[in-house]
Amino acid sequence: GRLQAVVPVTVKALQMDVRLGSASVGAHVRDAACYVCWAFARAYAPAVMAPYVPVMAPGLLTLALLDREVNCRRAACAAFQENVGRQGSFPHGIELVTKVDYFSVGSR
């Protein structure tokens, strides 16, 4: 289906960051990509999403831990947590969710 085309674009969008002079744009794109990953967890069965977990999980975790924008870190956390709960195949999912949660990534 279309997941084969959409997931790689979504994972790439998780890394979107373009320098424009002294500013950087891409936070809205990264935030939207997190929402798409969250929606994947709710819309597709674990068997359908299993091939995409190895590329989605690291992208979401990296964003949750390292993004400079708090709203992006929180969105990535929410998407990661939703996927852990619904998909069940995210590597070390429960362990990571207990350490990297919405509140812990809210401060920098």
Can you give the pLDDT at residue 72?
92
For 18, 51, 70, 71, 95, the CA distances from 43, given in Å and listed in that order, are 30, 15, 26, 23, 24
Can you give the pLDDT at residue 53?
87
Nearest to 64 by CA among 81, 51, 87: 81
| Other beta carbons within 10 Å of 68 | 10
pTM for this prediction: 0.84
The tens place of each residue's pLDDT in the chain, 108 residues long, gives: 799 999 999 999 999 998 888 778 899 999 999 999 999 999 999 999 999 988 998 999 899 888 989 999 989 988 988 888 887 776 666 566 666 655 565 665
**Cα–Cα distance measured from residue 37 to residue 53, given in angstroms and rounded to the nearest whole number:** 10
Can you give the pLDDT at residue 85?
82
